[in-house]
């Protein structure tokens, strides 16, 4: 059964920018890693494990894929690369922190007690140099890696595994379409968004149940050549840097 029902979804959508739609499945024969391999594979996604006091596995594991929006920063305070649908009013020319402030203000969702502790929001990372958006620091050192300074995504589809109750909560965060005030037209748009979310939940469940193309663990092939390793600096330069 999908929650909320269609009528409740319509009501929630009229007061929020994002509304979660979810269903529950039995998950006593799966693991977070195997589910990630099935649902995300080589695509873009995340796997978060909860741990208590650094020793004991926590109650929840979270797997995400298909973000509705991704922002990438390649320089503190500069323009951001945008992938996905960007809501109006979100600054992308003033750095990552300004954009995150706008996104958190825009993407308000309802508080629903039945959902896992993590079921939406932003996921990603912020590199050290993002601090340059709020602190005046010396010149940026040469970039010899080409990694983004930060990547943040609005969570789209998620699977939350509840190890305590042995269930999986499949969830789609629906970005509410722009409403016009015409009740019939708005209901039609919301129904279409709800039906799409139901389809995506079915697809997520189907992907989570499919067999893996390759085993998660396999013995090493003795015929494989060892990887070639190169250093980014010579031994003498490294010694100077350490001294």
The pLDDT of residue 142:
79
Could you tell me the residue range of the domain that residue 188 belongs to? 6-216
* DSSP codes of every residue in 30-56: --HHHHHHHHTTTSSEEEEEEEETTTE
Domain assignment present for residue 200? The answer is: yes
Domain assignment present for residue 243? The answer is: no
Domain assignment present for residue 69? The answer is: yes
Asked whether the beta carbons of 25 and 165 are under 8 A apart, the reply is no
The pTM assigned to this predicted structure is 0.84
Domain assignment present for residue 227? The answer is: no
3-class secondary structure, 242: helix
CATH code at 40? Answer: 3.60.120.10
Give exposure, 193-210, as e/b (b: 16+ Cβ within 10 Å): bbeebeebbeebeebbee
The residue behind tokens 């929630």 is 12
pLDDT tens for the chain, 243 residues long, are 899 999 999 999 999 999 999 999 998 888 899 999 999 998 999 999 877 766 677 889 999 999 999 999 987 777 899 999 999 999 999 999 999 999 999 999 999 988 999 999 999 999 988 988 888 888 777 777 888 999 999 999 999 999 999 999 999 999 999 998 899 999 999 999 999 999 999 999 999 988 876 666 666 677 777 788 888 788 888 888 887
Tally of domains in the chain: 1
Domain assignment present for residue 228? The answer is: no
Domain assignment present for residue 225? The answer is: no
Domain assignment present for residue 165? The answer is: yes
What does DSSP assign to residue 133?
G
Asked whether the beta carbons of 37 and 212 are under 8 A apart, the reply is yes
Domain assignment present for residue 112? The answer is: yes
């Amino acid at each position: 059964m999908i929650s909320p029902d269609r009528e409740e979804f319509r009501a929630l959508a009229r007061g929020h920018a994002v509304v979660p739609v979810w269903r529950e499945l039995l998950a006593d024969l799966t693991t977070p890693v195997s589910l990630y391999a099935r649902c995300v594979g080589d695509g873009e996604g995340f796997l978060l494990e909860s741990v208590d006091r650094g020793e004991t596995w926590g109650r929840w594991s979270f797997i995400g894929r298909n973000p509705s929006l991704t922002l990438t920063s390649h320089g503190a305070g500069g323009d951001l690369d945008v992938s996905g649908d960007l809501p109006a009013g979100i600054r992308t020319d003033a750095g990552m922190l300004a954009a995150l402030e706008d996104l958190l203000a825009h993407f308000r969702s309802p508080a629903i007690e039945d959902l896992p502790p993590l079921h939406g929001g932003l996921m990603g990372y912020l590199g050290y140099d993002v601090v340059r958006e709020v602190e005046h620091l010396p010149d940026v050192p040469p970039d010899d890696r080409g990694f983004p300074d930060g990547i943040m995504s609005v969570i789209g589809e998620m699977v939350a595994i509840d190890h305590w109750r042995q269930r999986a909560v499949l969830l789609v965060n629906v970005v509410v379409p722009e409403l016009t005030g015409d009740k019939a037209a708005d209901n039609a748009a919301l129904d279409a968004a709800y039906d799409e979310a139901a389809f995506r939940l079915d697809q997520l469940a189907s992907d989570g149940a499919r067999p893996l193309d390759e085993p998660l663990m396999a013995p090493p092939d003795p015929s494989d050549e060892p990887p070639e390793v190169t250093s980014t600096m010579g031994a003498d330069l490294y010694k100077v840097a350490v001294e």
